[in-house]
Structure formats: structure tokens, C-alpha cells
Amino acid sequence: MQAGDYNSKRVFSYPLIKLYDFLRDLTPLEESDNPVASLILAHLLAMQTTGKPIERRDGKLRVFRLLCDRGVDSQVLRKLYRVIDWMLELPPELEYSFREEFRKIEEIHKMPYIPSYERLARKEGLEEGLERGREEGVLAGKIQVLQQILNQPATSTNELLTETLEALELKIESLMQELRSRA
């Protein structure tokens, strides 16, 4: 080849593997020590269990048992968990049973705490926050109505919502007593 010859090329050849081909036999993925195999297994299980939530939960547990049985490092397991949890998403009613079974797996393998169920915890926290917000809003509204009936200047909603539920309830009781005394 001469210095001015730009018609050279290099060809790389890779074996072609389709994930779909693994559906016939998941054993190689289940027996592999490669953590990526567990991600492929989770993806295939997600494909197989669409619309079958109980089978999906069982498959998700199977993937984690395999990882734990292999002694995968807890930090690697945390990272894999997030992806696998996303791939094999469960309805809320099965998340609870999955959580219980997963705790048993953690205990058996004496694994350090894995920050799992983050999505479920966030949802529970959100629901609690919404419920508390509704209660505070209702109490603030009652206070403002009572203040109006008593011809008092209305406290702003923002100011009322900085108070605790107990303080709002005490304020309502105080306003109710004042209203009764005027009657």
C-alpha cells in the first residue's frame, strides 16, 4: 500500500444473536455468571409475562434468587435491581407479596439492606402527603368560614397551611366556642 492509497478498509465480524432465540431455553441465561445475562433473562420474562402479573412476580423473584445464589456483590445487585424492577413492574397488590418474599431472600443470603421498593415507598409517601394535605385544606377552609361568620379578618390559606393539624383543630375549637358564646 502506498502513502496516497485511501481505499483501504477494515472489516469486523461479530456473531449475530437475537434475544428472541433465548426464549426456547432460558437455562444458559439462568446458569450464567455474567450479570448482563440476568438483565436479558428479566427482559425475556417481561415479554413472556405481559398480562400475567403472578407469573411476572414469580419470574422476578427467580431472577433475584439466581443473583443472590451466585453471590453477586451487593452494590452490583442494587444497580441490577433498579433495572430489573423497572423491566418487571408489578401491580401494587403484588408488590407487597414480592417485598415479603424478597425480604426472605435477603435474610437467607444475609445480604446488607438493599434500597428496594423505592417506587412503592414513594407512592405510599405521596398518598400520605396527599391525605394530610386534604385534611389541612379542609381544616383551613373551616377556619376561614368560621372567621367569616364571626366577622373576623380571614387568615390566608398559605398562613393556615403552615400550621400543624393539631394547631388547626385547636383554632377551629376556639372559633366554635366563640360562635357558641355569641348565640
Q: Is residue 14 part of a domain?
A: no
C-alpha grid cell, residue 110: 444475609
pTM of the model: 0.52
Last residue of a domain, one of 116, 151, 167: 116
Do both 33 and 84 map to the same domain?
yes
Helix (H/G/I), strand (E/B), else coil: 66 = helix
What is the per-residue pLDDT for 172? 87
For the segment 92-104, what is each residue's pLDDT rounded down to a tens digit?
888 888 888 887 8
What is the per-residue pLDDT for 122? 60
Do both 110 and 131 map to the same domain?
no
Do both 48 and 73 map to the same domain?
yes
Last residue of a domain, one of 78, 98, 116: 116
Instruction: Report how many domains make up the chain.
Output: 2
Q: How many helices, marked H, and strands, marked E, lie in the chain?
A: 8, 0
Do both 78 and 148 map to the same domain?
no
Do both 41 and 104 map to the same domain?
yes
In the structure, what pLDDT confidence band is assigned to residue 123 with cuts at 50, 70 and 90?
Answer: low
For the segment 71-85, the average pLDDT, to the nearest whole number, is: 81
Do both 97 and 82 map to the same domain?
yes
What is the per-residue pLDDT for 113? 47
Q: Is residue 152 part of a domain?
A: yes
The 10 Å CB-count burial string (b at 16+, else e) for 85-109 is: bebbebeeebbeebeebbeebbeeb
**By residue range, what is the domain housing residue 45?**
19-116
Phi, psi of 71 (to 5 degrees): 75, 35
Do both 27 and 81 map to the same domain?
yes
Do both 34 and 63 map to the same domain?
yes
Do both 43 and 112 map to the same domain?
yes
